[in-house]
A and B are shown apart, each in its own frame.
Chain A
Amino acid sequence: KAGVTQTPRYLIKTRGQQVTLSCSPISGHRSVSWYQQTPGQGLQFLFEYFSETQRNKGNFPGRFSGRQFSNSRSEMNVSTLELGDSALYLCASSMGLAGGPTYNEQFFGPGTRLTVL
């Protein structure tokens, strides 16, 4: 079974630009969550999508947005990039269903390392 894939793995942008990151979940998983990881703040939850709908949202500004497609693949967009957006962006997939914790065990992709200059 293929794992979670994220593209691209590395990205360099300049302030003010926008960026789109992509995540393909494990086959059969309907939930995709996005996290930002920085040395100072740790893993911060951005949002979670389930069946094309945003189900949960973290405390990030509106410059961070996402969407999920009918095949469960997800994209995350950051507009008007700031230096502080430099981070490792991780996506995680799970079944996302009620019925027990194993349905919500998250499996992470390798991340996209975004550097904003």
Chain B
Amino acid sequence: TQLLEQSPQFLSIQEGENLTVYCNSSSVFSSLQWYRQEPGEGPVLLVTVVTGGEVKKLKRLTFQFGDARKDSSLHITAAQPGDTGLYLCAGLTGGFKTIFGAGTRLFVKA
């Protein structure tokens, strides 16, 4: 069974702090996606990383795919209250199946 483990599960930080969320697996994925979900809404796709070692930046968010395509990280610089939400990583297998991590719940205090 393919699993994606996310850490930490919960994170509460002050506005302006930096943070990193991790997503790890023993399986190789063809690509990995990060989503952000707000209460009562569906997850919204932030980024897809495809190549081992790839780094993508989205304003204050930096996403990295591990060299072996088994892990990924999301780094947020100078977090803002608007970054509050549930961050989910999802790995795509060769059989069109997407495996989701349990998520990291981030709360940024003003």
Contact = CB atoms under 8 A, between A and B. Distances in A.
A binds B: yes
Interface of A: 4, 31, 33, 35, 42-43, 45, 48, 50, 55-56, 90, 92, 96, 100-102, 104-111, 113
A108 B40 contact: no
B92 A33 contact: no
A48 B48 CA distance: 20
A38 to B, nearest CB: 11
Interface of B: 30-31, 33, 35, 40-45, 48, 50, 88, 90, 92, 95-103
Given A33-B98, A42-B102, A104 B45 contact: no
Nearest to A59: B1
Nearest to A35: B100
Q: Which of A43, A106, A107, A113 has the most CB of B within 10 A?
A: A43
Given A42-B100, A43-B100, A104 B42 contact: no
Given A42-B103, A101-B30, A101-B31, A108 B44 contact: yes
Given A108-B42, A108-B43, A113-B40, A101 B48 contact: yes
A35 B48 CA distance: 20
Contacts of A108: 35, 42-44
A47 to B, nearest CB: 10
Contact of A106 (B40, B95, B98): B98
Contacts of A102: 48
21 contacts: A31-B96, A42-B103, A45-B97, A45-B99, A45-B100, A56-B95, A92-B42, A101-B31, A101-B33, A102-B48, A104-B31, A104-B92, A104-B96, A106-B33, A106-B98, A107-B45, A108-B43, A108-B44, A110-B41, A110-B42, A111-B42
A50 B97 CA distance: 12
B42 A90 contact: yes
Contacts of A106: 33, 45, 90, 98
A86 to B, nearest CB: 15
